[in-house]
Amino acid sequence: MPNPNLTKLKYISNYPGSIIESVQHLINSKNLTAYLKNKYPHPHHFNNDKLLREYVLELKAQYLKKSQPISKIEYDNKLHVIKNALGTHTSIARVQGSKLKRKYEIRISSIFKNAPPEFLAMIVVHELAHFKEYEHNKAFYKLCEYMLPNYHQLELDVRIYLTHLELIGEVY
């Protein structure tokens, strides 16, 4: 019979039991917020679309110089709720005269407007990696780690942060 004190941890359900137990312990002892705040004390300052665009283009120029230009980069208020995604990358084809032109976009969920800079970096790196690798495969994660060496730890911590947001309902 399941323990009634356990919270459903959907964001980390595919992680090893030891990690799930550790997070559950933080929740039960009411230390989840303190854990996150201690590890990631400050929000980033890229809190509007213009600053986000500059940040993304800077990372792109540093790691993906030869990839396609990105025409739109913005925060999206509906992304997490509607698409169950934290960020998206899209390619839109348009006919211009006799040519087919592609425009590339990155949208980041607005829940990251006031998140720690490490979390924003993880989401941006993830979306940028999709410009070279479409699937979540070994090459994709290798590229993510190249751009952000602690990518996997940050992905876990973002999932813990999402759990925090779901349980507490606010940014810490």
pLDDT in tens, 76-117: 988 765 456 677 666 666 666 777 777 789 999 999 999 999
CA distance 43 to 39: 12
Residue 34 neighbours by CB under 8 Å, 6+ apart: none
The separation between CA 114 and the C-alpha centre of its own chain, rounded to angstroms, equals 13
Confirm if 123 and 52 have CB atoms less than 8 A apart: no
Q: Is the pLDDT of residue 36 over 60?
A: yes
How far out from the chain centre does Cα 15 lie?
Answer: 17
Q: Cα–Cα distance between 2 and 14 in angstroms, integer?
A: 18
Give the residue, 158 or 83, on which the prediction is more confident.
158
For the chain, give every domain's residue range.
15-168
Q: Looking at residue 159, what is its pLDDT? A: 95
**CATH topology (fold) of 15-168:** Zincin-like (3.30.2010)
Lowest-pLDDT range of 62-66, 88-92, 151-155: 88-92
Share of the chain above pLDDT 70, in %: 85
Decide if pLDDT at 137 tops 70. Answer: yes
Q: Please give the average per-residue pLDDT across 140-153, as a whole number.
A: 98
Task: Tell me the three-class secondary structure of the chain, residue by residue.
Answer: CCCCCCCCCHHHCCCCHHHHHHHHHHHHCCCHHHHHHHHCCCCCCCCCHHHHHHHHHHHHHHHCCCCCCCCEEEEECCHHHHCCCCEEEEEEEEEECCEEEEEEEEEEEHHHCCCCHHHHHHHHHHHHHCCCCCCCCHHHHHHHHHHCCCHHHHHHHHHHHHHHHHHHCCCC
